Chains A and B, each alone.
Chain A
Amino acid sequence: MSVNRRDFLKIVSMSTILSIGGVASVSSLKDQVEASQISKSPAALTAKRWAMVVDMSKFTSEADYQRCIDACHRAHNVPHITDNPKHEVKWMWTETYEHAFPGNEDAYRAEKFQHMPFLMLCNHCENPPCVRVCPTQATFKRKSDGIVMMDMHRCIGCRFCMAGCPYGARSFNFKNPRPFIDESKENPEFPTRMKGVVEKCTLCYERLAKGLQPACVEVSNGALIFGDIEDPNSAVRKVLSERFTIRRKPELGTGPSVYYII
């Protein structure tokens, strides 16, 4: 059987037209969705790089620390595990001076500073070692505002980041955290975590997106100052230009973004 040129061209052109029609009908649903858009919330707080200043002079009692810690842990459904200290999960916690600022010990420093608890959280480093070691990019530095984020969907629980972090800011879920969250106090708007992932402070990215300050800052009565470190008019820059501040282990070159006024 032979096809002459005229018939061959007819068949080719007809089948081309038919196939275009078929694709068009299949992709009509797709077009509808391509008409949709994804955008930033106009209410969101934005910055080039977020930073926090912890004014230790305003922490006068145990309750001042606990208020911030509770606000954070409640907002993010952080489990309260007490039976094994190695299984503890913490986004915000306290540490003594010698643990927080090693290398600066001084035998004759005022007693007050030797035993004073310091409020600790993730430093949201400029050059975060946890991000460098993460094999799945589950932890990453957000380009828009410098928050060192956790993508729980990607975390495989290898704990390289915990070894990489020089501040001990990361906790591993050795067991299912759900039974350790008080159901009456859980935040229904935020997820929990599952067994086998690493978690840490995310600088309340979900609150920033709604235009709210981080939970700890909100309840700190001015002891925690939050703002954009690259904006010369921000609250943080104002405090940094007036007061003497120190950071945790700056000599490691991680560029921590949490400053302490002693």
Chain B
Amino acid sequence: MYNGGKIIIGLIIFVGLVTFPFIFRGDKATAKPDPKVDTAEILKLPENERKCVESKEFMKREHMKLLNEWRDQVVRDGDTIYTNAEGKTFTMSLQKTCMKCHSNKSKFCDECHNYAAVKPYCWDCHIAPKEKQS
């Protein structure tokens, strides 16, 4: 190999530069998001009623689809009542239903959205609940 030493040194520097952020930051940069569901509104509810409109697993995975469906039904068809599998009814509204319990947007919505680098445009128009600075 011509100039073997230089090439190997160059390769070492290159690998060092590329892996530098991972080695230096470690897993700090990728700390798992931890959305909080301990708002005052939720804690006020009795233990057995602390349930979202659908199961936790479903909401985790499909909440964006549910919200889109709610949006279309309310705006385009004027239907406003959602009855879940258990027969409980909810008014389909982001501001009036979802955010009434989840009044901690920064700790509930943003926590995962920032982690996953998704930027839903909900809050361009919808008014987020006022959070106390703490």
Contact = CB atoms under 8 A, between A and B. Distances in A.
Interface of A: 29, 32-33, 35-42, 44, 77, 140, 142, 144-145, 149, 151-153, 186, 188-194, 205, 209
Given A32-B85, A33-B62, A39 B127 contact: no
B75 A36 contact: no
A38 B79 contact: yes
A151 B71 CA distance: 9
A228 to B, nearest CB: 15
Contact of B78 (A32, A191, A209): A209
B80 interface: yes
B82 A191 contact: no
The 7 A-B residue pairs with the shortest CB-CB distance in the complex, in nearest-first order? A35-B85, A194-B124, A191-B125, A37-B83, A191-B126, A209-B80, A36-B84
Contacts of B61: 29
A48 to B, nearest CB: 14
A228 B96 CA distance: 28
B79 A39 contact: yes
Interface of B: 54-55, 57-58, 61-62, 66, 69, 71, 73, 75-85, 91-93, 95-96, 121, 124-127, 129
A192 B126 CA distance: 6
Nearest to B73: A38
Nearest to B126: A191
B125 A144 contact: no
B78 A145 contact: yes
Contacts of A32: 54-55, 58, 85
B83 A39 contact: yes
